[in-house]
Amino acid sequence: MIITESEVDAALEQHAYSSARVGAVLWLRRDLQRTSIGLGAQPGPGGGGPMRASRIAAVATSAVVIGVLGIAPAFAEGGYDSSITAWLPGKDSSDWKDNNRDSVSTSVKFSGCSVDNGRFTYAGLQLKKARAGLPDPVVNRDNNYCDTSSFGDKAAGTYYFHYSNLNGQDTGVAFLSVRLVAVRY
Ligand SMILES: [Ca+2]
């Protein structure tokens, strides 16, 4: 899996909690940029040697970045990774219980977004708070351009996100799929 620089940036924003971690991550990022520059500079002689070597290096570096960032959510009190398959607007995510034992910003990160009809620009998301026997209020909204929606540190409670629209349209004209949905709270 090749991760793009924008995905790395989003991950950095989301996970760079301590200065020590920032240092490690920045070092890895420089390494990734070097590798990316190498990739771009290679004309790619039909799947030949140098291109292939660079690509393998990019994959290896990406794996290291993911491995390091994978440690970061230990700072959040909780989270889960999931995926979305063929959702129409109106669907809700699984819910989660935030005990507010930390000051982590609740975030929903999308990677690998696609639709079966037309084109994906953004998914309209609403962070909602579950209340027994009462309507669930919308706490925050964000248009997710296949990146990270950060909603800030939340009060204790049970939350979920609601998929409200595709590219601003709430009518079901296309099914949305997202390869990785990473929720942290
Ligand atoms: Ca929390």
Q: What is the pLDDT of residues 43-59, one digit of tens each?
A: 444 444 444 555 555 55
Span from the CA of 28 to the centroid of ligand 1 (angstroms):
27
Pick from 47-61, 68-82, 114-128: least confident: 47-61
All residues with CB under 5 Å from ion ligand 1:
77, 98, 102, 104, 185
Span from the CA of 181 to the centroid of ligand 1 (angstroms):
18
The predicted structure's pLDDT at residue 76: 83
Q: What are the structural domain ranges in the chain?
A: 5-73, 77-184
Burial of 102 (0-12, 13-18, 19+ CB in 10 A): middle
The predicted structure's pLDDT at residue 16: 42
Span from the CA of 103 to the centroid of ligand 1 (angstroms):
6
- Quote the mean pLDDT of the chain: 76
Span from the CA of 78 to the centroid of ligand 1 (angstroms):
7
pTM: 0.60
Q: Average pLDDT of 152-157? A: 97
Residue 26's pLDDT band (cuts 50, 70, 90): very low
Q: Which fold has domain 77-184?
A: Jelly Rolls (2.60.120)
Q: Average pLDDT of 62-89? A: 72
117 or 7: whose pLDDT is higher?
A: 117
CB count within 10 Å of CB 143 equals 15
Q: Average pLDDT of 71-100? A: 89
Span from the CA of 17 to the centroid of ligand 1 (angstroms):
14
CB 184 within 8 A of CB 69: no
